[in-house]
Amino acid sequence: MAAHRRAAVLGSPIAHSLSPRLHNAAYRALGLADWSYDRFEIDEDALPGFLDGLGPEWAGLSLTMPLKRAVIPLLDEITDTAASVEAVNTVVFRPDGRRVGDNTDIPGLVAALHERGVEKAESAAILGAGATASSALAALARICTGEVAVYVRSERRAAEMRQWGERLGVRVRPADWADAARAFEAPLVVSTTPAGGTDALAEQVPERVGTLFDVLYEPWPTPLAAAWEERGGQVLSGLDLLVHQAVFQFRQFTGDSRSPLAAMREAAQRD
């Protein structure tokens, strides 16, 4: 009988996470009966002890806030993708005991856009400048051939995004949040703000729009996403990102090259 293998998502708060639903659905769909995926409420202070207490049955971890940067000093290695944004959302435990950190949000965002036919963009815009915005910028570095306008609320945030642009090889143009509605002129818009952050902009969506990737999924649709769809624009949600990045995690944890995308999406959409 095969040994039981484990994975889990860590963060604080964590009760809302859909990751256990997605990964366990993937295990069932692909016949991995000896695998299970859980969630644990863990903050920065508890993280070192939690990692040190894991046994050989553990294959990997998914990390959400506030652990994506806190985990880095506790790892033996991080991938170039994770290093590019100084954020780890995936930890893989190698057979030799090494802890390797990766970031699947970046390829997940790209894969979600590719699925909807967005493989290249002449320009793009990002709303917000937090940790998710840096991952979005790294993803856009792979598909955007021109300038990325980033709408922010402070000069400090503008400076940070300029630095990320230089690091990632992207032409970044910081812009004042007061002019955020101008972002909608871009063929691809990525909204990375917390819930409610773009509600006031919904009434300013023009008649002709391109693609909106709103990384929220609860509550859904956001007023901005609803207004965008009313104009006939293409909309992706945080669920698209969640599912696609989880596929990359599943493959790294299990070593199984099959794609559980359909099973994960069905699980994500289930009430």
CA–CA distance, 40 with 34 (Å, rounded to integer): 20
- Within its chain, how far is the Cα of 65 from the centroid? 11
Within this chain, do residues 208 and 251 fall inside the same structural domain, yes or no? no
Q: Domain check: are 155 and 123 in the same one?
A: yes
Angle 219-191-117 from CA coordinates, rounded to 5°: 100
232: left (phi over 0), alpha (psi -120 to 50) or beta: left
**CATH number for position 133:** 3.40.50.720
Q: Tell me the mean pLDDT in the region 236-250.
A: 97
Give tens-digit pLDDT for 32-50: 999 999 999 999 999 999 9
What tokens were used for 15?
């009760």
* Closest residue by Cα to residue 231 from 244, 216, 217, 212: 212
Neighbours of 204 (CB within 10 A): 14
Q: Which domain holds residue 221?
A: 107-236
Do both 68 and 83 map to the same domain? yes
Nearest to 198 by CA among 232, 167, 228: 228
CA atoms within 13 A on the CB side of 91: 27
Same-domain status, 124 and 65: no
100, containing H or E segment: strand 99-102
pLDDT at 3 exceeding the cut of 90: no
Which listed residue (6, 68, 157, 265) is catalytic?
Answer: 68
Contact 203, 226 (CB under 8 A): no
271 — pLDDT class (breaks 50, 70, 90): low
Same domain, 138 and 34: no
Separation CA 152–CA 136 (nearest Å): 14
Backbone phi, psi, residue 73, to 5°:
-65, -15
Q: Quick one: 130 and 143 in the same domain?
A: yes
pLDDT tens column, 166-225: 999 999 999 999 999 999 999 999 999 999 999 999 999 999 999 999 999 988 999 999
List pLDDT tens digits, range 46-88: 999 999 999 999 999 999 999 999 999 999 999 999 999 999 9
Number of structural domains found in the chain = 2
68 is catalytic: yes
**Same domain assignment for residues 157 and 228:** yes
Same domain membership, residue 61 and residue 177: no
Distance between CA 118 and CA 240 in Å, rounded? 13
Domain match, 148 and 95 both: no
| 40 in the same domain as 147 | no
Helix ranges (DSSP H) in the chain: 19-29, 47-52, 80-85, 105-115, 131-143, 155-168, 223-230, 238-254, 261-269
pLDDT for 1 beyond 60: no
Note if the pTM is more than 0.85: yes
Same domain, 99 and 111: no
- Residue 29 backbone class (left: φ over 0; alpha: ψ -120 to 50; beta: rest): alpha
Can you give the CATH number for the domain in which 58 is found?
Answer: 3.40.50.10860
Indicate whether 65 and 170 sit together in one domain: no
